[in-house]
Homo-oligomer: A and B are copies of this chain.
Amino acid sequence: MERYISKRIKNIPKSFLTDIFKLAADEKVISFGGGLPNPKFFPIKGIQNACNKVLEDDGANVLQYSITEGYLPLREYIAKRYKDKEGIDVSSDEILITSGSQQGLDLIGKTFVNEEENVLVEKPSYLGAIEAFSVYQPNFCEVVLEDDGPNIDSLNEVVDENKIKLFYAIPNFQNPSGITYSAEKRQKTAEVLRKQNMILIEDNPYGELRFMGEPVPSMKKYYDNTMVLGSFSKIVSPSFRMGWIYAKKEFIEKLVVAKQAADFHTNYFTQRVMYQYLIDNNIDDHIKTIVDSYGEQRKTMIDAIEKYFPKEVEFTRPEGGMFLWMTLPNNMSAMDLFYKAVEKNVAFVPGIPFYAGEKIENTLRLNYSNVDSEMINTGMKILGDTVKEMMEK
């Protein structure tokens, strides 16, 4: 059988995420593992109304094939939102609707990354991005993250020593670390990237989920050669698999070629439903409801860490998004903790799959968006107690 499999797929392990999702599906388990939005905020009724409306008004068209770029009014809506929220002038020609941000990553890898070229990622980085790019067989370089963004010395070093094709970054409420690049770090990062005029991918699925602190402008404002990935998964529904790439028109034209070969176009019925939902409802009010709740859940989790975990444990304090990152004492293995915790029906993601290079063993990611406050308290106490037990041995 192996003889049939391509080199590009052979070395990609079956994702950790799959097992995590399967574990998280067991109702006994308190899972801090997934990256799932809280389903209590899914706008079920709003989506239902939108389905009925588009089918009744324009059924024959909404069920037909459509164009690769995506539904024009939806692209215009997204472009306008960049203007309204970030003050960036964006044309609908610069937006490509994708089957989730994950497809955006795949299309970018396919369109821009040749085998053996260098792709720079954060340390740690998003494992789904590492997987998506791995298919195209690049070399990964890493830049160390600090609480306010890349370590600039580390960034200068890697850029001076390697010719980099693109830098993949998540500047807002990073997955997995929860950190956000400060304005100063954005400026300095842009200066370093300019040395090679490499492509910057700003993956921004959580940008709208800020519950404290001040918004920081998109990297696009600091560095023109930036492509931005956006998503409806965290603010409306992930089931639709609907995101977008915002990039220069010349890049979009090439991405459209890749997109066409990949799936013709994103599900057009749900593009129409999404647009209808967005124009018939106040999405900002909806996002505020989500943000208020995630902010509460994040607070509960941090309070619980301070209460139940030993002082030696370090953790980030995200200003938005869905994750925080924990660093156990140096000699402790997050995999060991994972197995012990799962026996007690608590799950999380050990840090290992988030590293494209050297695997750091004592880190882990905790999700607070899909667990209510009581469960957070119960689960974090179990986890904290388990860490204490491990320290005593």
Contacts and interface: CB of A to CB of B under 8 A. Distances in A.
A83 B113 CA distance: 43
A253 B63 contact: no
A9 interface: yes
B42 A9 contact: no
A322 interface: no
Contacts of A64: 36-37, 39, 42, 237-239
A365 interface: no
Contacts of A60: 39-40, 42, 44
A18 B68 contact: yes
A298 interface: no
Contact of A270 (B5, B48, B262, B269): B269
Interface stretch (A97-105, A142-150, A213-221, A334-342): A97-105
B52 A269 contact: no
B239 A12 contact: no
Contact of A100 (B21, B242, B263): B263
Nearest to A55: B48
A344 interface: no
A311 interface: no
A276 interface: no
Interface residues of A, number: 82
Contact of A63 (B17, B199, B237): B237
Contact of A4 (B22, B42, B55, B199): B199
Contacts of A199: 4
A188 interface: no
Interface in A108-157: 110-114, 128, 131-132, 134-136
A259 to B, nearest CB: 10
Contacts of A4: 112, 165, 199, 251
Contacts of A18: 67-68, 256, 260
A331 interface: no
A106 B17 CA distance: 22
A195 to B, nearest CB: 16
A100 B265 CA distance: 9
Given A14-B257, A241-B265, A270-B270, 12 more contacts: A4-B112, A4-B199, A4-B251, A5-B112, A6-B113, A7-B114, A44-B63, A64-B237, A100-B263, A102-B262, A106-B263, A135-B258
Interface of A: 1, 4-9, 12-15, 17-18, 21-22, 34-37, 39-40, 42, 44, 47-48, 51-52, 55-56, 59-68, 99-100, 102-103, 106, 110-114, 128, 131-132, 134-136, 165, 199, 233, 237-242, 250-251, 253-254, 256-258, 260-270
